[in-house]
Amino acid sequence: MRTIFKIALGIIAAIGGFLDIGDLVFNTQAGALYRYDLLWAVVLGTIGIAVYAEMSGRVAAVSNRPVFDAIRMRMGFGLGLVALVASTFVNVLTVAAELGGLAIILQLLFDGPFSLFVVIALLSVVVIVALLPFGGIERLFGYGGLLMLVFVATAIDQSPDWGEVAQGFVPSFSNSTLYLYFVVGVFAAALMPYEVHFYSSGAIEEGWDEKSLKENRLNAVIGYGLGGILACALVVVSGFLFHPLGVQPNDLGTVALPVQGAFGETGLLLALAGMLFCVGGATIDSSFAASYNLAQFLGWEWGRYRGPRKAPRFTFSWLVFLFLAMLIVLSGINPVEITEYSVVFSVVALPLTYLPILLIGGDPSFMGEHANGRISATLGWVYFGVIVILALAAIPLLLMTNGGGG
């Protein structure tokens, strides 16, 4: 009974923790521009993150090695360093985007100077991490993120043409570079590297071992799967309301407008609170991921469970990354723009993150009987192929579409 309860908690945390500012921005913009046509890309990204999260969680549980340990072991110091620099750059950009998003949502709720809310957001994150244990942090933001279910309720309330919605799940391609840019964006937003860095390190923080493999599989498949439903709901509500009106959702506040239309002030508050928890959780996840990577690569003591005294360099680097992110946001760059750049640049770093997981996960001499089976291996390699293609296309598409501006 206790195990079932634990699994349920993990799944709930995964659902609520799936969405971040990248998903909010790209999925809403995708719906506004292409109605339901990009739903297939959301599903593709969701399956991808579930496959690689399961694999990285399994590697961590069996070998007690998180992703960056694996990267250094498989790639050696030189290539590992390239991966570290690339992922740190992307992670800091992501932390900045999430922190800026957090400040925007606080501003929408309480009104006041943006820079003040940036500082409040940063201090809140530091206090929450200082006060709560690792599992508590995960659950707080995971459960809070469930408020995003109000977007599913909005989609149902809007009563779109469900046949048209279903058609969106069938992959379609277009010659338009903007369409291709959004395929990359929606896919990459689901597969941000920090998600697996955090997931695998979190597995070690929570003391997973071989007995946790069932929990890992259910968390990855059901948790991310249901999280994918929330992401699809964002596309649907935006496609239904914004597409016919020609709205271009360039602001985070616009994401909540369809819910206000359906359920008034209560709905709006639930949507903003859900977004607050999702983006807040992602701020912590991405900042932790940056410090996990650095500490694991350099062989420092790491982990929230060790505390600042036993892992001082890990804790200090976490504070430095948060501070750097705050400086980026306070420089005046729009957090939504930072989000777009962080998502697109993350695509370029994806192969460096996912290849070592795939190689180690499939190595029987390392994983024993828990090495990738036929389904995991096939899905893993197919996705790796997709990732490489998108990594090559991402920057040219970013430039050709003027950062998605058309």
Residues binding other proteins (CB under 8 A):
107-111, 241-242, 245-251, 253-254, 256-257, 260-261, 264-265, 268-269, 272, 406
* Residues contacting residue 134 through CB under 8 Å, at least 6 positions apart: 202, 205, 206, 304, 305
Quick one: 109 or 298, whose CB is closer to other proteins? 109
**Hey, how many other C-beta atoms are within 10 angstroms of the C-beta on 344?**
25
Quick one: 64 or 266, whose CB is closer to other proteins? 266
Nearest to 403 by CA among 106, 172, 142, 185: 185
Inter-CA distances, 192 with 154, 188, 297, Å: 27, 6, 19
Quick one: 7 or 103, whose CB is closer to other proteins? 103
CB 199 within 8 A of CB 56: yes
Quick one: 121 or 294, whose CB is closer to other proteins? 121
In the complex, the smallest distance separating the C-beta of residue 253 from other proteins, rounded to whole angstroms, is: 5
In the complex, the smallest distance separating the C-beta of residue 348 from other proteins, rounded to whole angstroms, is: 25
Instruction: Give the pair of three-digit tokens for residue 250.
Output: 């360039």
Rounded Cα gap, residues 82 and 280, in angstroms: 29
Q: Where are the alpha helices (H) located in 251-302, listed in sequence order?
A: 257-298
CB 301 within 8 A of CB 295: yes
* Residues contacting residue 142 through CB under 8 Å, at least 6 positions apart: 12, 13, 14, 15, 16, 17, 281
Quick one: 103 or 290, whose CB is closer to other proteins? 103
CB 182 within 8 A of CB 30: yes
In the complex, the smallest distance separating the C-beta of residue 406 from other proteins, rounded to whole angstroms, is: 7
CB 188 within 8 A of CB 40: no
Quick one: 136 or 406, whose CB is closer to other proteins? 406
In the complex, the smallest distance separating the C-beta of residue 230 from other proteins, rounded to whole angstroms, is: 21
Quick one: 99 or 289, whose CB is closer to other proteins? 99
In the complex, the smallest distance separating the C-beta of residue 270 from other proteins, rounded to whole angstroms, is: 11
In the complex, the smallest distance separating the C-beta of residue 213 from other proteins, rounded to whole angstroms, is: 44
In the complex, the smallest distance separating the C-beta of residue 172 from other proteins, rounded to whole angstroms, is: 24
